[in-house]
């Protein structure tokens, strides 16, 4: 079973756009295991993630939602645009939105103003998330063109995430704040996720603005999206074993 999971995970890495060698340098877990709900909760406790903002990505709906969003975006391009920078940047943005470790920043209305994903950090040392000096000012910003393509807002992420008990969290339930941040993390990109959490916490700790941080675990995302129906059933069975 472990071999099956490893093969599909590596396959997903190879097609995701960030090379496998790059990801190994980042500290990818080379023996990944499917995480049960109990394991995800334990990991969240280790990172001191508040239970009221501890969500899990609904992989199937998130992936399907991305496909629909970008399908419409590509349809708005002319056929002649397939060799254009707009077409390339849109493809890159879609790839970025599927990466394992991400930080997203939103204004008080839930509109995304900034995003950063693992493909842009410098491996293997020091795993610096301050790409393009994005965290040298507040709010964060970047001049990297493809990272300034924002195709969905906070509502989309919340709609496609849930608590361990399957409950949903809506934007209207948040306390009023100047900004909202989302950290997408996991345990197979352990080093980048840990460094990202620490970096963002220190960053927002230096501002006098109120920032609510939401944490979304996507550990099983790459495994699930790469598996066929037979292997998915095997994982379902495995995940029920205590």
**In the predicted model, what is the mean pLDDT of residues 72-94?**
83
Half-sphere exposure of residue 108, counting CA atoms within 13 Å on the CB side?
Answer: 6
Query: 60-81 pLDDT, tens per residue?
Result: 889 899 999 999 999 888 766 5
pLDDT at 52 over 50: yes
**In the predicted model, what is the mean pLDDT of residues 29-45?**
82
Q: Specify the pLDDT at position 136.
A: 97
- For the chain, what is the mean pLDDT? 83
Q: Specify the pLDDT at position 190.
A: 87
pLDDT at 232 over 70: no
- Residue 170: count other Cβ atoms within 10 Å of its Cβ: 9
**In the predicted model, what is the mean pLDDT of residues 27-34?**
66
**H helix runs in the chain, sequence order:** 2-15, 20-25, 37-46, 59-75, 85-96, 154-159, 190-204, 221-226, 229-239
Task: Tell me the C-alpha distance between 113 and 118, whole Å.
Answer: 18
Yes or no: say if 182 and 117 are a contact pair by the CB < 8 Å rule. Answer: no
Phi-psi region of 83 (alpha: psi -120 to 50; beta: other; left: phi over 0): alpha
Yes or no: say if 162 and 61 are a contact pair by the CB < 8 Å rule. Answer: no
Q: Specify the pLDDT at position 85.
A: 85
pLDDT-wise least confident of 92-96, 102-106, 206-210, 224-228:
224-228
Q: Specify the pLDDT at position 30.
A: 58
Query: 184-200 pLDDT, tens per residue?
Result: 999 888 889 999 999 99
Residue 222 CA, chain-centre distance (Å), reads 11
The DSSP output letter for 175 is P
pLDDT at 239 over 80: no
**In the predicted model, what is the mean pLDDT of residues 30-45?**
83
Q: Which residue has the higher pLDDT, 242 or 193?
A: 193
Yes or no: say if 209 and 138 are a contact pair by the CB < 8 Å rule. Answer: yes
**In the predicted model, what is the mean pLDDT of residues 112-130?**
88
């Amino acid at each position: 079973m472990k071999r099956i999971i490893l093969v599909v995970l590596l396959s997903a890495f190879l097609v995701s756009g960030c090379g496998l060698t790059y990801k190994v340098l980042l500290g990818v877990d080379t023996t990944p295991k499917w995480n049960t709900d109990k394991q995800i909760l334990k990991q969240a406790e280790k990172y001191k993630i508040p239970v009221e903002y501890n969500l899990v990505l609904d992989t199937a709906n998130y992936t399907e939602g991305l496909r629909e969003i970008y399908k419409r975006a590509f349809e708005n391009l002319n056929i002649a645009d397939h060799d254009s920078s707009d077409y390339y940047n849109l493809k890159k943005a879609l790839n970025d939105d599927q990466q394992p470790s991400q930080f997203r920043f939103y204004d008080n209305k839930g509109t995304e103003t900034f995003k950063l994903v693992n493909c842009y950090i410098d491996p293997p040392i020091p795993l610096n998330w301050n790409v393009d000096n994005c965290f040298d000012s507040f709010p964060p910003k970047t001049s990297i063109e493809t990272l300034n393509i924002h195709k969905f807002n906070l509502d989309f992420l919340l709609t496609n995430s849930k608590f361990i008990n399957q409950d949903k969290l809506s934007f209207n339930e948040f306390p009023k704040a100047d900004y909202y941040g989302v950290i997408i993390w996991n345990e197979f990109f352990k080093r980048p996720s840990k460094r990202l959490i620490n970096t963002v916490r220190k960053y927002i700790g230096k501002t006098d603005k109120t920032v609510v941080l939401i944490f979304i675990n996507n550990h099983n995302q790459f495994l699930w999206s790469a598996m066929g129906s037979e292997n998915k059933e095997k994982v379902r069975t495995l995940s029920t074993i205590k």
